[in-house]
Amino acid sequence: MTKPGHVRTIREQNRAIWRGIIHRCHYETCREYRWYGARGIAVCDRWRKSFDAFLEDMGGRPEGMSIERVDNDGNYEPTNCKWIPRTEQSHNQRSNKLLTFEGETLHIAGWARKVGLKRTTLEHRLKKGWAVRDALTVPLGSRPNKVRGQQHGNSKLTAELVLDIRDRVANGEKKRVIARSLGLSQTVIQDAVSGRRWGHV
């Protein structure tokens, strides 16, 4: 026989999931909002207004499972959600890391579709430390050209390289890491990012 306290605990666990999807889609103060609400993803009105409606449509969360959207660009709604193992969701979340390139931001799976690469190929390139520009634009079977600049000054910078540096910073790469990989000083990297000397790019 299930104890009443255990039933309440299960209900609260499901309520926490329900609150979580609402917060990341509709509260800008939520840390995860930029990956959900900021991308236009929402919780359907039926679920947003009623936890019981969410529970009726989805059922209680099975042990070891997490809620997942079938279409990663779609909303949280009955026709687009299912329960999947947490291990599978962890893999999906890695694939859905957001990347910014030339002012456009998409998740890895979206970029892979857009540039005609396999998702696993794009993930492998990024894991090996390829710059986002190279990972997205270098043809299959080719390797990125290594652009080396001078340790001081910016005589070896090009408009294309400046844009690449800005993309790398936008994707969270540290400026000192970028500087070391290109053989440039951090001052040159900062100038490229701030537009101090490359404001026309």
User: How wide is the angle at C-alpha 40 spanned by C-alphas 39 and 42, nearest 5°?
Assistant: 120
- Predicted confidence (pLDDT) per residue in 36-63, tens digit: 888 889 999 999 999 999 999 999 888 8
Q: CB under 8 Å, gap of 24 or more: what pairs does 106-113 form?
A: 107/72, 109/72, 110/72, 110/73, 111/136
Residue ranges covered by each domain of the chain: 4-95, 99-137, 146-201
d(CA 104, CA 136) in angstroms, rounded, equals: 12
15 three-class SS: helix
Residue ranges of E strands in the chain: 65-69, 81-85, 98-101, 104-107
- Predicted confidence (pLDDT) per residue in 104-154, tens digit: 677 787 788 878 888 888 888 888 878 888 888 888 878 776 543 333 344
Does the reported pTM lie above 0.85? no
